[in-house]
Every structure is written in C-alpha cells, then in structure tokens.
A and B are shown apart, each in its own frame.
Chain A
Amino acid sequence: MTETAAGTTAATAVSTDSPVLLQVEGLVKHFPIGGGLLRRQVGAVRAVEGVDLTVHRGETLGVVGESGCGKTTLGRTVMKLTEPTAGKIVFEDRDITNLSRRQMRPIRRELQIVFQDPYASLNPRMTVRDIVSEPLRIHGVYRGREGRLRVEELLRTVGLSPEHANRFPHEFSGGQRQRIGVARALALNPTMMVLDEPVSALDVSIQAQVVNLLSDLQKEFRLTYLFIAHDLSVVRHISDRVAVMYLGKIMEIGTKDQIYNGPTHPYTQALLSAVPIESPNHRGKRERIILTGDVPSPANPPSGCVFRTRCWKAQEICAEVVPPLIDHGHGHPSACHFAEIRRPLAIEPASAPSTL
C-alpha cells in the first residue's frame, strides 16, 4: 500500500487575495423544539446564529469549537444538506441559498463532504467500488470500463490499491475507511470539500496519515477545504485561517498565526490554554485558564455576549450589547468588547528549560 508523502507542510500559504469561493452572510440555522400535546413549536435550538465568513480558493479554513457550538451544522448548512433558516450562501459567485435539490445537483459536483465517522458513513452492504462510483452514477458520468478505471485511479490516489475495490467496508480499518470516504468525495473532481471531523475517530498514528493525505490532495487538485474539528492541534497543522465558534457564533477569526500566537478573545484564549501539551517539559510553565461552568443551552443562550456567563472579563455591557465581530486594532476580528492579546501557549522564557 502506498503511503502519502511525508515531508509536506500542511498549510500552504494562500493569501486572502485569492478569489472568494464561498461567501456566507448572516447564516442562521434553528432547529425547532416541539412540545406538548399538539407538537407546537415551543422554542428553537439556535445551532448557527448569524455567521459571516469567506473562504478563498485554495485555502483551508479551520472551524474549531466544542460540542454543540454549531460547527457541524454550519458545514451541513453551507452544503445545503439542511436548509438555512436565514442568511445567504454564495458559492462560485452564485447565490445557492434558495436552490432546490434538483438545482443543487450541479453544485454538488463542486462541493463535497467527508464525514467524521468512517464506520457510519459507508454503506456496509456496498463494495468499495459501488461506494466510490456512486457519485459518478448519480451524476450520470459512470461508463463501463472508463468508470472502472476511474475508481481504480481514485483508490490509488487515496493510498489504497485497486484490488480493494471488491471488498466491503468491514474489511478495512478506520483509517482505510476514511480513505474510502475521501475517494468518494474526490470522485467528481470537486473544487471544495467540507471535512467534518475527518480524523477524530482515528488513532493518532493513523490521523497523521489521513492529515497528510488531505494536504497532498489539496496541493495536487487545488482543493479548498472547510476543515471542521474540535482538535486544536490538527486544525493548527492543516489550516491557513481559523474561525473559533461558541454557541452558534464566530468569536474570533484570523490567520493561523493570529489565532494561535495572538488570540484576543477570552474564549479562544481559554481553549488554547486548556489543551494539554504533549511535552512534560511544559508542566507548570504555562498559564492555565480554567473556565468555570458548562456551555449554556443553545436553546436558551445568554443575552448580549453568549460567552459572558463563563468569562472572567465580563462586565455589565456584555449582558446588554452583543459584541460585533470586528477588528479592535489587532489585525483580525474578535467578538469581544474587551479584546486584547494574551498568549496562553507561550512559555515564560525565564523558566523555559534548555533544549535537550
């Protein structure tokens, strides 16, 4: 089996000058909560609550956040796998917000998705050939011998061998299954892929294989990625820019360097501070921000700033005024009334141990 090239830097430098591929404005997705005898709507889970973002051609935009922050719903809504409640989605200069399923079909060739769980996202009764060729058949571009060759080529592209085509998903390990999912997404030569936690179900050594595969494919096919994950380390490795979500909103968005080395939103700072670092040399040498409490329910989010209930900086204004996502003079936008740089990943130079 071929392995993906190892010596690759994941984040290719894509400037935000490159053309916009996907633009999302004021995107809202509410899921109604039914209740009572008559199943009347008694409320809504505000999964995505007014998201604006832009994805440039060829870049990887990472979306991070904890469970329930709306990052998966964002990915699905952008793809129109679920209908947006409000807002606008423009893909390749075309407003796709209100397109019907049929009208979406040509768009789907360009915009594909890879799901988190390689166990649940592959039909266990289909062979790998059937799975990978399904998009080709749906779009009516699968033709006999040519189609078979295309499937074999796709399998080789993702590091599997053509002989795997006749096997069933259960015969593969988690990492190999995720490769099958990637081959399926690649089948129609898409421009953009939404990657929804593509490596979180995998062991660390296998994660690295799939991350490298995704980086290589991006270079080879000039793909644009919306990379959704809760793992801040993987997101750092693969992204050019990063958006941090909390309770359906973007708290902060910027280049990888801005988010990891100069975050200005307290939530971003707390997230980065909470990740345990894989080096015992860092013990006790890093600032720890321990948030109190849990994430509030997205069915009943706090007034004003949604993060204020767990924020050490919160003042009266935070309960009253929703902080806009704007640049406070740090070069990137942050939705905090009191945005300022704090570096939770930095180690105090005085106490840093010498390199071994």
Chain B
Amino acid sequence: MPDPVLSIRDMTVEFGTEDGVVHAVTGVNYDLFPGEILGVIGESGAGKSVSVMTMLDLIPKPPGRVVSGEAIFKGRDLLTMSKSELRDVRGGDIAMIFQDPMTSLNPVLKVGSQIAEAVLAHNPKSSDDDGRKRAIELLQLVGVPNAEQRYDQYPHEFSGGMRQRGMIAMAIANSPSVLIADEPTTALDVTIQAQIVEVLKTAQRETHAATILITHDLGLIAELADRVVVMYAGRVVELSDVFTIFNSPRHPYTVGLMNSLARVDIDKEALLPIPGQPPSMISPPPGCAFHPRCLHSRGRARCRTEVPPLRPFGEGGDHVSACHFAEELAEAEVVGIGAEQPA
C-alpha cells in the first residue's frame, strides 16, 4: 500500500457543557490513502465529523478541547500548525463540502465571485480575469447550465442542487489532494441527490483527491466508498473495505445497522432494530459503549468492564473490529443483507 495522505492518530476531543464533559471522540485512528473514498458512518452524535473538524481547526475552542492526537498531512501535524499555515491548507490542499450549501455560501456575494475568490486566495499571482475564467470552467464541470450567466447570480437564485454544485466547484477549485464531504447530499431530494452523486464522482475523477465521505446514508456509502470507518459513541468500532463491511460485518453495531435498514429493492421479512437508545456522550457506558444495546454481549462481564480495542481480523489484517467476541459473529447468523436476495 502507498503511504497515506492523511493519518488521524489517537485523537481525543471533548466539549465542556453545562451538563458535563461531552466525550465527542476518543482515541480515533484512521488513514486516508491517495485517490480513495473513505466513508465514515455512524448515527447522530457518534463523532463522525468531529475528527475532521478538529484537524481543520473548525471546532470552537472553548468549549472544544483537543485532549490528544495528531493529524499528519504530508508529513506535518495539522494540529500544531499556526493559524496562517492552516489557512493555506484549508480550501487549498484540503477542501470541504458541507451539508447545507445555503449556510456555507455567502448570501450577499455572487456565487461565481465566491468561487473566483477561492481560486485567487490560493493563487495570488492570478488576475481577476483568470479567476473568473477558472470559476466558469468549474461551474461547467459540475454541471451548472449557462455558467457564464450563473456566475453573476446570488446563492438565493440557485436551487438547493445548484448551490451544492457551486459548493463542489469551490471545493475543487484548487485541485485539493484531500476532499472532505460532510453529508453532501443529506439536505437534497432523492432525484437531486442522484445528480450530486454524479457530480461528486466527476469531481473526484478530475482531482484524484482522496475523499472522506461522512454520512449517515448507508446507500451513499455502498455506492461511493472504497473503505468504511464505522463509528459508535465517539470511537471507531469497525474498519474495512466496503464489500467486507456490508457483506460480512464483524461488529454487532454494524450488523445491527444493516439489520435495521429497510431496503428499496427487496421486501424484508422484518426490520430488526437495535434495541435501546443512543448513549449519553457525557457518561458513556463503561467497557464497550455499545454493550447495553448489544444483542451478542448477552450480559457478559467483559463487555461491561473492558474497553475492546480495535483488532485485526483474518488474512491481511485490513479488517479491524472493536468487539471482544467478534469471532463469534463470523460464525453466527450475520444477516448479510449486502448479499443479493431475490427481489
């Protein structure tokens, strides 16, 4: 394997609140390799976005506090960079696409000039004319029709899908080597989502950027990701290639997610929900944070007392799971809904 472009190492981030300390992410490790799409899945509050927001210094501090960790990008730790160094990286070599394009575009500036600004900010020698030309090229690339005219329109004159295209154009303006897409299609209707997925594929093809795709939408992950990080209660609980995660998951939470999904293409006999409620991140359960909801723990003491480390599985060691009893799942009835079933 080539060297990773980005490595998150042992990252722990807390937020101080009136009710207590929220343990947003704890000891998170993962690598991002050149050209790949790494999917990050988990439910609300699982800490999906916190690690990337932290490495780009986009969490408010306070209340946020980085307890430990490194984010190694091209040999340098983003967490120890100065503000101005980080500003050069952000929007340049590492770019972001957010969920809500309405709040991430400036409503009083023309869409085109915001893209041009992104180009010029990282290419100080370019002229305004170059910026405009490049912005129009980018708008065309992401499928905005009549890009010349659209350049001079304001965000409110764009529909949701068009704004998201504008955001993607801005993100890829400086040919980033890392692209972070945080719930890029969540706010959009399904037919528009399908359009944006195509645009994301184009953007990735054009830039070859290694991409972190953060979403709760397992369908989007199944369609786009090469590898998948599964998070629960602020920790990575399973990591592998996308086929392994969907076809032979080895963490009870991942299995539970697959089993609770309704599918558009097959009639499932029953949905098997994960029982209980998501944990409090102020006082997460001791031991394995998933144990109160786990159908495989069966009350075993080890699950309550000992935090299960991420450990490799099978050949190659590319599949890791943080379950004390992951081997049992290999034999047990994992309902592999990733596998085909007659429609």
Contact = CB atoms under 8 A, between A and B. Distances in A.
Interface of A: 1, 3-4, 6-11, 66-67, 173, 175-176, 203-209, 211-212, 230-234, 236-237, 256, 260-261, 270-283, 288, 290-292, 294-295, 310, 345-347, 352-356
B121 to A, nearest CB: 30
Contacts of B265: 260, 277, 282, 345
Contact of B270 (A8, A66, A276, A347): A8
Interface in B211-231: 216-220, 222-223, 225
B268 interface: yes
B340 A281 contact: yes
B73 interface: no
A279 B338 contact: yes
B222 A280 contact: yes
Contacts of A10: 270-271
Interface in B24-42: none
B257 A173 contact: no
A277 B263 contact: yes
A257 to B, nearest CB: 9
Interface stretch (B96-104, B108-116, B191-199, B299-307): B191-199
A111 to B, nearest CB: 26
Nearest to B228: A280
A205 B256 contact: yes
Contacts of B337: 278-279
In the A-B complex, list the 5 residue pairs whose CB atoms are closest, starting with the nearest: A276-B219, A208-B273, A208-B260, A274-B194, A205-B274
A1 to B, nearest CB: 7
B262 interface: yes
A124 B326 CA distance: 42
B58 interface: no
Contacts of A256: 267
Given A205-B273, A291-B191, A352 B260 contact: no
A3 B343 contact: no
Contacts of A212: 270-271, 273
Interface string B176-209: 0000000000000111111101100000000000
B273 A206 contact: yes
A208 B258 CA distance: 11
A272 B271 CA distance: 20
B261 interface: yes
Contact of A356 (B161, B194, B273, B336): B336
B53 interface: no
B43 interface: yes
Interface stretch (B6-14, B129-137, B243-251, B315-323): B243-251
Contacts of B260: 204-205, 207-209
A232 B190 contact: yes
A6 B219 contact: no
A353 B336 CA distance: 14
Contact of A173 (B190, B216, B268, B278): B278
B272 interface: yes
Contact of B223 (A173, A236, A277): A277
B262 A203 contact: no
Given A276-B219, A281-B247, A233 B262 contact: yes
B253 to A, nearest CB: 9
A270 B223 contact: no
Contacts of B218: 204, 278
Contacts of A294: 159-162, 192
B264 interface: yes
A204 B189 contact: no
B275 interface: yes
A232 B264 contact: yes
B106 interface: no
Interface residues of B, number: 56
Contact of B273 (A209, A232, A274, A353): A209
A290 B220 contact: no
A352 B340 contact: yes
A73 to B, nearest CB: 16
Interface string B310-343: 0000000000000000000000000011111101
A230 B187 CA distance: 12
Contacts of B258: 278
Question: Which of A3, A66, A276 has the most chain B CB atoms closer than 10 A to its own CB?
Answer: A276
8 contacts: A3-B273, A6-B272, A10-B271, A204-B260, A233-B261, A237-B262, A281-B340, A355-B341
Nearest to B263: A233
A349 B27 CA distance: 45
B242 interface: yes
Nearest to B193: A274
B277 A176 contact: yes
Contacts of B275: 3, 209
A288 B195 CA distance: 10
Contacts of A203: 43-44, 216, 278
Contacts of A310: 191
B338 A356 contact: yes
Question: Which of B191, B194, B275, B343 has the most chain A CB atoms closer than 10 A to its own CB?
Answer: B191
B85 interface: no
B156 to A, nearest CB: 14
Given A205-B260, A280-B338, 10 more contacts: A7-B269, A203-B278, A204-B257, A204-B261, A206-B277, A209-B273, A274-B193, A278-B222, A283-B222, A354-B340
B343 A7 contact: no
B276 interface: yes
Given A67-B189, A205-B273, A237-B271, A280 B243 contact: yes
Contact of A274 (B191, B247, B270): B191
Contacts of B217: 276
A257 B268 CA distance: 13
A281 B339 CA distance: 7
Contact of A278 (B256, B263, B269): B263
A256 B268 CA distance: 13
Contacts of B278: 173, 203, 206
A292 B197 CA distance: 13
B43 A204 contact: yes
Question: Which of B162, B267, B278 has the most chain A CB atoms closer than 10 A to its own CB?
Answer: B267
Contacts of A282: 222, 265
